Amino acid sequence: MTESGQKFKIFKFLKIVICSFLITCLLLFTIASIRTLSLDLNVGLQLARWEKTNNISLVIDHHQREELLAHFKEAIRIPTVSFSEKESNTTALLEFDRLLREVNKRLRLLLIRHELVANYSHLFWVQGSHPDLVPYLLLAHIDVVPASEADGWEAPPFSAQEIDGFIYGRGTIDDKSPVMGILQALEYLLKKGYAPRRGFYIGLGHDEEVSGFKGALNIVRIMKQRSVRLSFVLDEGLAVLDGVISGLQGPAALIGISEKGSATVKLSVSMAPGHSSMPPRETSIGSWLQQSKD
């Protein structure tokens, strides 16, 4: 083959490569444009549509607002303190039980099951219309850690005093807002004729702050006995915090997507000591890390 013939072949090959590349780019750009223009941002948020339930108005009138607030304050005022694994304020826990029953009158009528677990914890079961859907579990706890006014509270810790639109008290965040939030939201939805397709459980522990060996453990035991399978568990959650996370301007809501556990491990490494100016190939730190990895 002549030299010019070879050059022509290379040129033709390059032309094909460049043309294919341009066509691919054009195609990808077109697909991306169509997808961007047709993206419906709201699609994931339409719970009502997904649940195929009634159109439930989210308007809470002044009277309802006052009532919700009053119930929440009442919950804060009951000192459901866990002092230790063995000692809780059982008088307060009984009082809380009465509050839950009073607040959720309708729940009692409509829920399939409400049972006490380990005397003071609660397990609710809301039946769904589609029994084949795997249920889920909402969790919260009704106990709090001790609090004393001497710790420098701006308002007494069990007063639920309102200052500048904020309610002060032990348990406002951890964890009586989820307790009351879940139950009052459910009460509200049921009043409005809500009928879930997927059944769900609500578990309220009374000794979470001291490991949950009575409440959580027995709730799990009961569910295991009944061979309950769950699609997911949603627990506690965090507050909307402002000025707490350094470097972040404005309020931030943290979404926890996993639960941490705890473990205590004691590791020791014995190696020949040396001077840091001439470290050996593997130091005690390297060896220690290797052990932790294994």
Ligand X SMILES: *[C@@H]1O[C@H](CO)[C@@H](O)[C@H](O)[C@H]1NC(C)=O
Nearest to 126 by CA among 141, 139, 110: 110
Q: Rounded to the nearest whole angstrom, what is the least distance from the CB of residue 57 to ligand X in the complex?
A: 5
Residues 280, 126: Cα–Cα separation, whole Å: 64
Answer yes or no: 242 catalytic.
no
Answer yes or no: 143 catalytic.
yes
What own/partner pairs with CB < 8 Å and gap ≥ 24 does 263-269 have?
265/292, 267/291, 267/292
Which residues make up the interface to ligand X (CB under 6 A)? 55, 57, 78-79, 81, 89, 91-92, 95, 118-119, 214
Q: Rounded to the nearest whole angstrom, what is the least distance from the CB of residue 205 to ligand X in the complex?
A: 12
From the candidates 187, 207, 208, 209, which is the catalytic residue?
A: 208
Closer by beta carbon to ligand X, 136 or else 188: 188
Residues 200, 152: Cα–Cα separation, whole Å: 40
Closer by beta carbon to ligand X, 224 or else 260: 224
Maximum C-alpha span of the chain: 102
From the candidates 143, 174, 187, 209, which is the catalytic residue?
A: 143
Query: Do 130 and 200 touch, CB atoms closer than 8 A?
Result: no
Q: Is 123 exposed, middle or buried (0-12, 13-18, 19+ CB in 10 A)?
A: buried
Which residue type is seen at 28? L
Q: Rounded to the nearest whole angstrom, what is the least distance from the CB of residue 83 to ligand X in the complex?
A: 8
Query: Do 112 and 127 touch, CB atoms closer than 8 A?
Result: yes
Closer by beta carbon to ligand X, 99 or else 110: 99
Closer by beta carbon to ligand X, 81 or else 186: 81
Q: Rounded to the nearest whole angstrom, what is the least distance from the CB of residue 43 to ligand X in the complex?
A: 13
Token pair for 257: 């997507």
Q: Rounded to the nearest whole angstrom, what is the least distance from the CB of residue 204 to ligand X in the complex?
A: 15
For the annotated catalytic residues, the residue numbers are: 143, 208
